[in-house]
Amino acid sequence: MTQKRVVVTGMGAVTPIGNNLSEFWSALLAGRSGAGPITHFDASHHKVKFACEVKNLVPEDHIPAKELRRLDKFVIYAMISSMEAVADSGLEPEKEDLTQIGVIIGSGIGGIEVLEEQHEVYLTKGASRVSPLMIPRMIGNLAPGHVSIKFGFKGPNTCPVTACASGTHAIGDAFKVIQRGHAIACLAGGTEAAVTPLSVAGFENMRALSMRNDSPETASRPFDKERDGFVIGEGAGTLLLEEYEHAKARGAKIYCEVAGYGMTGDAHHVTAPAPEGEGAARSMQMALDDAGLNAADVQYINAHGTSTPMNDRNETAAVKTVFGDHAKSVAISSTKSMTGHLLGAAGGIEGVLMAKAIADGKVPPTINYTTPDPECDLDYVPNEARELTVNAAMSNSLGFGGHNTTIIFKKPD
């Protein structure tokens, strides 16, 4: 069977540094941090009192108020970013065979805010007062569910749940669905809204979060020797992936082509990566093989780069394993230094920025990079964006449980 070509024709973003594609991309290139004191709840009794929150978003500008009452924040973010992606693509759903358009949007945690809220109701008011909407608001698959209902998209509809790899798995899965001819287009990405009391408590007590309460803006410092943990973030990123001939026939603009997809498991530890990034290296190599590319063909890597000691060291080792001598020449950045770590949504917004890097010939920086780490000695595009012709770009996402996934985009031939 002849494999279909797949391209990116539309994108949308809701992030801690911008609530649409233009704002997000401009903030990335400016090196702007989205970190600040937590406002979603009273964090005075928490060890960590800051996060990368979505700011100044007015959901009522996008979704009717009556409908909003039935939605958790993670669904709202997914819907708003998806609406932007469809509008950006110029796709007119009423003119399409809706059975051939899918929605694959991942979430690592789903509606934890409504779970915490309704658990409190249960404890204080009793079982009879728990909302009948709790389950439909909470479960992760309701993000793609609501998006599909919004547009009437009746094609493949799933929700990968692979922790911090969820968004990239969603993009890769959508790529393969279209490549095999099982859909002509698919909304794909990730969404998360886990800046909540219970979630922050869990992450801080496992010592995964940065403790720099006195300087939130400089807390996320991937690959820097002084890194001490990630900064939790929230938001969503969605791409419209489309079969190339279909996109061409309707005169769509094309940001880039989806070229390769890799995914592996560490089978090592619940939270720690495999030594020397062995699983991540296999994922990267698998994506290169799937794309028919050599490591030297890649100009830019958007690293998982969480700002935790183990992740950054092991991901650097994995890049060296796969890229060999070329590892020193490839530009690498972790945009989590600005957005924080959006968990299941990270791969979604990072897929968006990869497509923009290829289309615009610019790569965002790793900010807060001040003290080099001898074990992290590659080119991390420190502190300032860089103009760079990007013919092929790679993005890594590595999740708790040993989930590794890599996606490769390239300039369309």
**Residue closest to 396 by CA, chosen among 386, 405, 409, 384:** 405
Fold of 6-249: Peroxisomal Thiolase; Chain A, domain 1 (3.40.47)
pLDDT digits (tens, 9 = 90+) for 271-291: 888 888 899 999 999 999 999
* Strand arrangement of the beta sheet that strand 185-192 belongs to: 157-158, 101-106, 185-192, 235-243, 6-14, 256-265, 403-410, 392-399, 300-302, 331-333
What's phi and psi for 222, nearest 5 deg?
Answer: -55, 140
Residue positions annotated with a catalytic role = 164, 304, 341
**Domains 6-249 and 260-410 fall in the same CATH topology:** yes
pLDDT digits (tens, 9 = 90+) for 321-358: 999 999 999 999 999 999 999 999 999 999 999 999 99
Q: What is the pLDDT averaged over residues 380-402?
A: 97
pLDDT digits (tens, 9 = 90+) for 26-43: 999 999 999 999 999 999
* Exposure on the CB side of residue 401, measured as CA atoms within 13 A: 12
Q: What percent of the chain has pLDDT over 90?
A: 96
> Do 306 and 312 contact (CB within 8 A), yes or no?
yes
CA dist., res. 19 & res. 260, Å (int): 28
Q: Element (H or E) spanning 68, and its range?
A: helix 65-68
> Do 367 and 31 contact (CB within 8 A), yes or no?
yes
Q: How many residues does the chain have?
A: 413
Q: Element (H or E) spanning 30, and its range?
A: helix 21-30
> Do 276 and 259 contact (CB within 8 A), yes or no?
no
Q: Report the SS3 class of residue 93.
A: helix
Q: Give residue 1's pLDDT.
A: 64
> Do 407 and 261 contact (CB within 8 A), yes or no?
yes
**Residue closest to 38 by CA, chosen among 219, 159, 205:** 219
**Around Cβ 232, how many Cβ atoms within 10 Å?**
28
CA dist., res. 208 & res. 115, Å (int): 22
What kind of architecture, by CATH, is found in domain 260-410? 3-Layer(aba) Sandwich (3.40)
* Structure tokens given for 249: 């026939």
Q: Report the SS3 class of residue 329.
A: coil
CA dist., res. 21 & res. 18, Å (int): 7
pLDDT digits (tens, 9 = 90+) for 1-13: 689 999 999 999 9
Q: Name the residue ranges covered by the structural domains of the chain.
A: 6-249, 260-410
CA angle 237, 243, 246 (to 5 degrees): 120
Is the pTM for the entire model greater than 0.95?
A: yes
